Amino acid sequence: GQNIDQPTEMTATEGAIVQINCTYQTSGFNGLFWYQQHAGEAPTFLSYNVLDGLEEKGRFSSFLSRSKGYSYLLLKELQMKDSASYLCAVNGGATNKLIFGTGTLLAVQP
Amino acid sequence: EAGVVQSPRYKIIEKKQPVAFWCNPISGHNTLYWYLQNLGQGPELLIRYENEEAVDDSQLPKDRFSAERLKGVDSTLKIQPAELGDSAVYLCASSRSSGSGETQYFGPGTRLLVL
């Protein structure tokens, strides 16, 4: 079957670093996406990994290990506006069909 | 560049009534997706279009749900009749193509409440 696991909730402090983990078991793999979703808004694209390693984009970085079925999203210098749900999604087939995790709700506290 | 547009943003109906949602994708995007998102969950694909052709509708409950994308641009998703369990957010997304690395861009969604 297809399974994607993320922690349900996390709390972190403004200015700190937080790592959100995602593990997946899918029948195929053609890349992993991270999306940010503020309450009541559309998911917005953060990052895409298809090869092993770290992709850095400003304050956000994403890591992938295909052999371990594991990814993480690293957020540095946390700001209050980073409070949102972070969705891990795997492209499990030849076409762009995404399978989403349930999302991790991050609360950034002062 | 305008993003994915959806309307209405909110809809409240009584059970057994019909409802329709509209989506206008990003200009030039050939692939269009409709997702269902329940509270506290990730989006789940209902149907995917390549231009005007529905190429993956395996998760669409066809007894009450229908969708169309007649000219390969705008799309509508309809529920008839609506049930209480259909209360959710209906998200539309688009991408340039269905290639494995193509980013999907989401609209703000239609929040449906069935009473």
What digits encode the pLDDT tens for the residues A10-34?
999 999 999 999 999 988 899 999 9
Q: What are phi and psi of B25, to 5 degrees?
A: -80, 175
Residues in A touching B34 (Cβ below 8 Å): none
Structure confidence at residue B47 (pLDDT): 95
Q: What single letter denotes the amino acid at residue B20? A: A
Interface contact flag, A45 B105, Cβ < 8 Å: yes
Chain A nearest-CA distance from B24, in A, is 14
pLDDT tens digits in sequence order for chain B, 115 residues long: 689 999 999 999 999 999 999 999 999 999 999 999 999 999 999 999 999 999 889 889 999 999 999 888 999 999 999 999 999 999 999 999 888 789 999 999 999 999 9
- Picking from B4, B42, B99, the nearest residue to A96 by CB comes out as B99
> ω before B108 within 30° of 0 (cis)?
no
Containing A25, the helix (H) or strand (E) segment is strand A18-25
β A98-100/A104-109 pair status: unpaired
For chain B, what is the radius of gyration of the CA atoms? 13
Whole-number pLDDT of residue A18: 98
Contacts of B100 in chain A (CB under 8 A): 30-31, 50, 91, 94-96
Q: Residues, chain A, total?
A: 110
Chain B CB contacts of A32 below 8 Å: none
Q: Contact A102/B42, CB-based, under 8 Å?
A: yes
CB contact (8 A) between residue A40 and residue B111? yes
| A93 pLDDT above the threshold of 90 | no
Among all residues of chain A, which has the CA nearest to that of B98? Answer: A96
Would the pLDDT of A95 be above 80? no
The type of residue at A101 is G
